Amino acid sequence: MTATVSRRSWVFMREPDYLGCNGILSAVLDDFQYREGQNRLADAVTRALHEKSILVAEAGTGVGKTYAYLIPTLLNGGRSVISTGTIALQDQLYERDIPLVSRVLGKPLRTALLKGRANYVCLLRYETERTQLRLSPKAREREKRRRLLDSWVEGTISGDLSECPIELNDPIERSQITSTAENCTGRRCPFYERCFVVEARRQALEADLIVTNHHLLLSDWLLRQDGFSQLLPEVDAFILDEAHLLPDLATRMLSESVRQTELEHVLANRAWSALFNAGSDSGVPPWEALEQAFTTLLGHESGQRGQLVCEEWPARLRESMATLATGFKALLERLSETPEDEASRDARRNLERMERILSKAVRIRHPELEPGSPWPWLEWLEGGFVVRLEPVDPGSGLRTLMQVHDAAWVMTSASLSTGGHLSYFRNRMALAECEEIIIQSPFDYAAHALLYTPTTLPDVDAPDYLEAFIALALRLIESNPGGTFLLFTSHRALAMAQARIAGSLGSRPLLVQGHASKYRLLERFQEETPAVLLGSHSFWEGVDVKGLALSLVMIDRLPFASPSDPLVYRRIEALKRMGRDPFRDDQLPKAVLALRQGVGRLVRHESDFGAVVVGDRRLVERSYGSVFLASLPPMTRAQDEHEVAEFLSHHGQMARP
């Protein structure tokens, strides 16, 4: 697979000069610095927009990719969608970056910010919660908090909870005042005309530039595919920032499943049973046959790991699924002859979905022989069995969704490559023809950052490894004048570290993921320097801490996904059956990208300094360690912990005001 690069030459905006040494942006931004890589990226974005082609661009930290895609996008005109992986970047773009660029270019435009419904207060559920709260024995304790919330709800225009003046960290409290697709009453809601979700979607359909997130973008594409009204308008360009998140998210969203409880719900409907059996056509199994087919599924024993791939399904099990699919199809035909009301519409849609999934699962016997086919699984969980259709790679499905749009595509992130190549990302996205570009960070990593892997620690699977890693962390923390991140690959390791470290830090604050919102933990981390933060997956990316507040990042082990995870196991088995090497083709590059994200928390700005310590000896002792090292920034390699301690102490003293 080779990248196709257009030969047409586009010179990015010579007149006027926006990103030059003495360009327009330099006069507006106090901290503006000319970046040759930023101009190269802007030129590539301009080319993709004009040619309506696909660009995959890795831009290292400090390149300034946001302005490099925003300025060409606004100059290009037309309608565009900018999609991000995180709410934080959405807000930054909408509140700060886009207004600034629009003002600099003298191009006023209609913009819209569109988030998932869980980010907007639901007026109906809010009013219901207020009534219940007044009857609560803790009503008085919450009265002041409730008055602040009442005042905000009465005055807010957007209903966006990120603008709320009080913290809503408790997921239960948040869920009580927001809606889901399942509990939203739609047009029957007494507050429908004032609904913040409806208004946000209306504004998006009328806007020139929409800022959304990958989850909503994929939801929009899937809705269109299923024939429902879209969330977003037709546009000329899609700019996908934080694009490294797309493949895994798409895998989850393109997966489909039917649960035991859903089948039980259908078969318990006596009205449907009577309708189904009335005037039964020849060849259509009676309702009792559907119940028997369900009983067969229910009684089938799970495989060794609680899962069975489609090739392992016995004939009896496959016949039972086919019977249910045939029966559901016949029931849908009969239902089409009866009046439909709003209450029954969702039930029929769910029945259509189950019929489609079961029919497809039965037809697919060897997915590796049918490129792009999802992989059917039968899995047993606590709540019963689940029939799953899951893509091994989401690329084929994504390309199908993308091809519906006559638009330019820009996919960018600070970490898309492994070993200096973009092939892993491109393969997962099924991008056979695209322009690709890798722009290195302009930061001087060799002078500002150390990388240390202690060869004296036990093997990561040894019983005493975590204790030794924490002991090393405590010694380095004591030498570090700045803040420290301890990043773990599992919540279990994080909990053990917390128990060991608590009470050993003296006056340094200890902050632990899960004890407050991510936003509040980061706020305290920067305010209370030097602090120590223990984090798991959510702190490996999307975190930007400047200066002395963060000068040491320690990572407990290389972030390989556990084969015991059902999703990982299914992917390994699927790749084996396709004749591919799961470790080389998937597990290794995925771990490399994850490590790059964790390491990338350290140097976020030109003046930042610090050390990264990876406790896992495999980084320097295994042959595949060279792939990790070739993918990391060119940091100076430390030989022992004393070198790290001296480096931190020296630079920390220089950084103090």
Query: 256-390 adopts what CATH topology?
Result: Fumarase C; Chain B, domain 1 (1.10.275)
- Given a contact cutoff of 8 angstroms between Cβ atoms, the answer to whether 177 and 137 are in contact is no
Alpha carbon 102 to its chain centroid, in Å, reads 28
479 versus 568: which is more confidently predicted? 479
Please say if the pLDDT value at position 344 is more than 80: no
Q: What's the pLDDT at 280?
A: 59
What is the tens place of the pLDDT at every residue in 350-390? 899 999 999 999 988 776 656 567 888 888 888 789 999 98
Alpha carbon 101 to its chain's center: 27
pLDDT at 7 over 50: no
Domain boundaries of the chain, sorted by first residue: 1-110+207-255+391-440, 114-199, 256-390, 445-655
Q: How confident is the model at residue 5 (pLDDT cuts 50, 70, 90)?
A: very low
The more confidently predicted of residues 222 and 412 is: 412
pLDDT at 503 over 80: yes
Q: Which run of H or of E encompasses 554?
A: strand 552-555
Integer CA distances (angstroms), 472 to 336, 493, 555, in order: 68, 15, 12
Q: One fold for both 1-110+207-255+391-440 and 445-655?
A: yes
pLDDT confidence bin for 13, thresholds 50/70/90: very low
Section 73-88 average pLDDT: 91
Does residue 482 carry a pLDDT above 50? yes
Of the candidate CATH numbers 3.40.50.300, 3.90.550.10, 3.30.300.20, 2.60.120.260, the domain formed by 1-110+207-255+391-440 belongs to 3.40.50.300
Question: How high is the pLDDT of residue 582?
Answer: 92
> Does 525 have pLDDT greater than 90?
yes
Q: Which helix (H) or strand (E) holds 389?
A: strand 384-390
Which residues, in sequence order, are bridge partners of residue 539?
Answer: none
Q: Give the pLDDT of residue 253.
A: 87
Phi-psi region of 542 (alpha: psi -120 to 50; beta: other; left: phi over 0): left
Using the predicted structure, report yes or no on whether residue 598 has a pLDDT greater than 90.
Answer: yes
CATH for the 445-655 domain, from 1.25.40.10, 1.20.1630.10, 3.50.50.60, 3.40.50.300: 3.40.50.300
Q: In what helix (H) or strand (E) does residue 51 lie, and over which residues does it extend?
A: helix 36-51
- Stretch 477-505: mean pLDDT, rounded? 93
Taken in order 614, 615, 616, 617, is the CA torsion positive or negative? positive
Give yes or no for a contact between 50 and 43, defined as CB atoms under 8 angstroms apart.
no
Share of the chain above pLDDT 90, in %: 48
The mean of the pLDDT values for the chain is 87
Per-residue pLDDT band for 128 (boundaries 50, 70, 90) equals confident
Instruction: Provide the sign of the torsion angle of the four alpha carbons 111, 117, 119, 121, taken in this order.
Output: positive
Q: Is the pLDDT of residue 599 over 90?
A: yes
pLDDT band (50, 70, 90) for residue 6? very low
The DSSP bridge partners found for residue 535 are 487
- Phi–psi pair at 13, nearest 5 degrees: 45, 60
